[in-house]
Chain A
Amino acid sequence: MAGFTETRHDVNGIDTAVLTAGEGEPLVYFHGAGTAFGFDQLLPLAGRFRLIVPYHPGFGASADDPSVDSLHDYLLHYLDLFDQLGVDELALAGESLGGCLAAWFAIEQQSRVRRLVLLSPFGLRVREHPATDFFSIPDEEVPAHLVADMSLFAGAPVPPPPEFLADRYREATSFARVAWKSPYDRKLTKWLHRISAPTLLLWGEADRLHPVELAEHWAELIPNAEVRTFPGVGHIPVVETREAVDAIADFVGAGVAA
């Protein structure tokens, strides 16, 4: 399987890194509030689509821009980037913070989003099923909040090297710019009804950040949504089970000529 190609784009002054692989219909994947796992687990999608994984401003290989301090700024940033990439209609997937962003993109850019996949998305506030505030988790407990299968960390150095910790601090800072105020995006409830694309919600049943019960609440608010959950899987399904990656491929690929 071929790997990603990284290209760099000046997006309104922000040096933005974009990973791409494969050809065909554009499938954009918005990552969450951390990039430590990398994205190789998504590469099977490149067999069927033009897979595009941009690093958000302030994450991974993209530059910082402290003035990007709302998800709306992210959304406008990506409108600029997609203009440069020649991406008009697209399939869109997003995990966690990226799921919330993908939802907003589909709310505001209805006609461009053909299919939408939200993986344990950030932001919906349901009183009976509170999210865990990422910022409230002690450092050493973060890994167990991200995945259920701790063997994924086997062989990782303890404690992690300073550079690794600094990368996480930088991404936490970027996340804090948009989410320190609250682990909820209170406007979602009001506007999710505008999503017209067929939508798939993927959720790990052992998600300790965003409880799996939230999936049905998202599905109730989005007009054409279905839910699939994965037993024994944590917050980032694509790193724990190939089934999640295949589910994206099958859902996005439905109706598209191979």
Chain B
Amino acid sequence: MSAVDDIKLYFFHHHHYIPIPEDHERYRTSMVDYPNSLYDPELGHALYERHLRTITRAADVGFDGICLNEHHSMAYSMSPTVGLMAARYLTATRDIPIMVAGTPINLQYPNRVAEEYALLDVMSGGRMEYAFPLGTGMEYWANEGTVNPATARARFRESLDIVTRAWTEDGPFRYDGDFYTYRYLNVWPKPYQKPRPKCFIVGTGSEETVQLAIDYDMGYSIVFVPIKNQLRAFDRLRALADERGRTIQPDDLVIVVMAYVADTDEEAVREARPHMENFFSWFHRVTPRFLVPPGYVTTAEFLRRVSEAAMAKSTEATWDDMVSIGRIACGSPDTVAETIVSWCEEAGCSRVNVVLENGDMPEWKIAKNIALFADEVIPRIRKRLAGGGKDQRELAAAGVK
């Protein structure tokens, strides 16, 4: 029996602003300084309605949860205040948890984040999970200058300290930090779930964020970075936890998978590939400068990144590059189910954020993808975990890594 005997599949949604402009080649990035004069609120409204249909559809057909995120000043995301988005989806769905992944706390006062998140948890009767991101470099360009990328990591740690203490300790109490001072830290309400909702750090697997997950007893939700980096980060997390006498459980680790299901592998790739490609080439089009504002990473990390040719042309990666390094599961129900299960077993994780809408995918493909995933993939995953699946040798023979 594998270490992973249960997999929770959360439907993850980006809330892209679609479509891609015809003259998109004029723009070096769809983020930060991509002009908001190109934003059409009527189209935005139609897209919010469509995204609502998509997410409620996923909730209706058997996903274990929903995951929402937050970004600022980009066509990539129409979700600049994820707490509000969560409130809408809490009322549009029943029972299933919502993972909010999440407001970069540095962009808010931490007591406000603690209040808002506790409010959602109480209103929903404990359906909330929270994942805390440092925020991408782009968020720092798009926000007020007081939020300095050169101090982002120190501020993030302090903000996490404030949020978790505000939730778990009885107030009022005084807090004298390097960035924030509270005379009466005393948030109302406190969370419904005790001692607090399940929490994760969101990150790329950097040493600093792995350390935060350990220090604040949180899980780790890793973003779309090469699989080998994910596995290295999870190993590091387990090693650090071991030193503290804590055991990382499979549901402490979340991976994100871009998936598309069709009757055959060939059909799936044919239908999904253009949209997954423009997810990277347009929705994630960004300049190196916006990715790493001054001080956002150490000089050593910056040198490592500029020395890797891949960074300079991250949006020009080929399909084969993407599929070989990232978690893209595109294929028949058998292929997708086996791929996801094998990834979970390899990573020792039981939580998957599944992305079924990629790039400028039309709604019919999204609906078809959701339906096939629910009808054909989820049952295969359940059956496989119950012991009815192929064993590792059969998988290896089938070429599933």
Contact A162 B306 (CB under 8 A): yes
Across the interface, name the chain A residue whose C-beta is closest to B140: A180
B289 at interface, CB cutoff 8 A: yes
A182 CB contacts on chain B under 8 angstroms: 145
In the assembly, what is the distance between CA of A73 and CA of B204, in Å? 34
B293 at interface, CB cutoff 8 A: yes
B322 at interface, CB cutoff 8 A: no
Partner of A139, one of B149, B289, B299: B289
Residues of B in contact with A, size category: 10 to 19
A175 CB contacts on chain B under 8 angstroms: 294
**Known A-B contacts A165-B306, A181-B146, A181-B148; A176 and B299 likewise in contact (beta carbons under 8 Å):** no
In the assembly, what is the distance between CA of A180 and CA of B302, in Å? 18
In the assembly, what is the distance between CA of A66 and CA of B302, in Å? 17
In the assembly, what is the distance between CA of A162 and CA of B300, in Å? 11
Partner of B148, one of A138, A163, A165, A177: A177
A170 at interface, CB cutoff 8 A: yes
Contact A169 B294 (CB under 8 A): yes
* A161-207 residues at the B interface, CB under 8 angstroms: 162-163, 165-166, 169-170, 172-173, 175-177, 180-182
Contact B150 A173 (CB under 8 A): yes
Contact A176 B287 (CB under 8 A): no
Contact B292 A169 (CB under 8 A): yes
Contact B148 A176 (CB under 8 A): yes
**Known A-B contacts A135-B294, A139-B289; A177 and B306 likewise in contact (beta carbons under 8 Å):** no
B295 at interface, CB cutoff 8 A: yes
B293 CB contacts on chain A under 8 angstroms: 135, 176
Measured between C-beta atoms, what is the minimum distance from A54 to chain B in Å? 20
Partner of B303, one of A138, A166, A180, A181: A166
Contact A138 B299 (CB under 8 A): no
In the assembly, what is the distance between CA of A172 and CA of B294, in Å? 6
Measured between C-beta atoms, what is the minimum distance from B300 to chain A in Å? 8
B289 CB contacts on chain A under 8 angstroms: 138-139
Partner of B150, one of A162, A166, A180: A180
A165 CB contacts on chain B under 8 angstroms: 302-303, 306
In the assembly, what is the distance between CA of A180 and CA of B143, in Å? 11
The listed residue with most B CB atoms (<10 A of its CB), out of A66, A69, A165, A173, is A173
**Known A-B contacts A138-B287, A181-B145; A166 and B299 likewise in contact (beta carbons under 8 Å):** yes
Partner of A177, one of B287, B295, B299, B300: B295
A169 CB contacts on chain B under 8 angstroms: 292, 294, 299, 302-303
B148 CB contacts on chain A under 8 angstroms: 176-177, 180-181
* A21-38 residues at the B interface, CB under 8 angstroms: none
Interface string of B288-314 (1 = CB under 8 A from A): 110011110001101100110000000
B151 at interface, CB cutoff 8 A: yes
Partner of A170, one of B287, B288, B299, B306: B299
Measured between C-beta atoms, what is the minimum distance from B115 to chain A in Å? 26
Contact A66 B150 (CB under 8 A): yes
* B248-295 residues at the A interface, CB under 8 angstroms: 287-289, 292-295
In the assembly, what is the distance between CA of A176 and CA of B141, in Å? 12
In the assembly, what is the distance between CA of A195 and CA of B40, in Å? 53
Across the interface, name the chain B residue whose C-beta is closest to A182: B145
Partner of A162, one of B149, B151, B292, B303: B303
Known: A166-B300, A177-B150, A180-B294. 13 other contacts (CB 8 A): A66-B150, A69-B150, A135-B293, A139-B288, A139-B289, A165-B306, A170-B299, A176-B148, A176-B149, A176-B150, A176-B293, A180-B295, A181-B145
Considering the complex of A and B, which 3 residue pairs feature the smallest CB-CB distances, nearest first? A176-B294, A166-B303, A173-B295
- Pull 29 A–B residue pairs with CB atoms less than 8 Å apart, ordered by A: A66-B150, A69-B151, A135-B293, A135-B294, A138-B289, A139-B289, A165-B303, A165-B306, A166-B300, A166-B302, A166-B303, A169-B292, A169-B299, A170-B302, A172-B294, A172-B295, A173-B150, A173-B294, A173-B295, A173-B299, A175-B294, A176-B148, A176-B150, A176-B295, A177-B150, A177-B151, A180-B294, A181-B145, A181-B148
Q: Which A residues contact B (CB, under 8 angstroms)? A: 66, 69, 135, 138-139, 162-163, 165-166, 169-170, 172-173, 175-177, 180-182
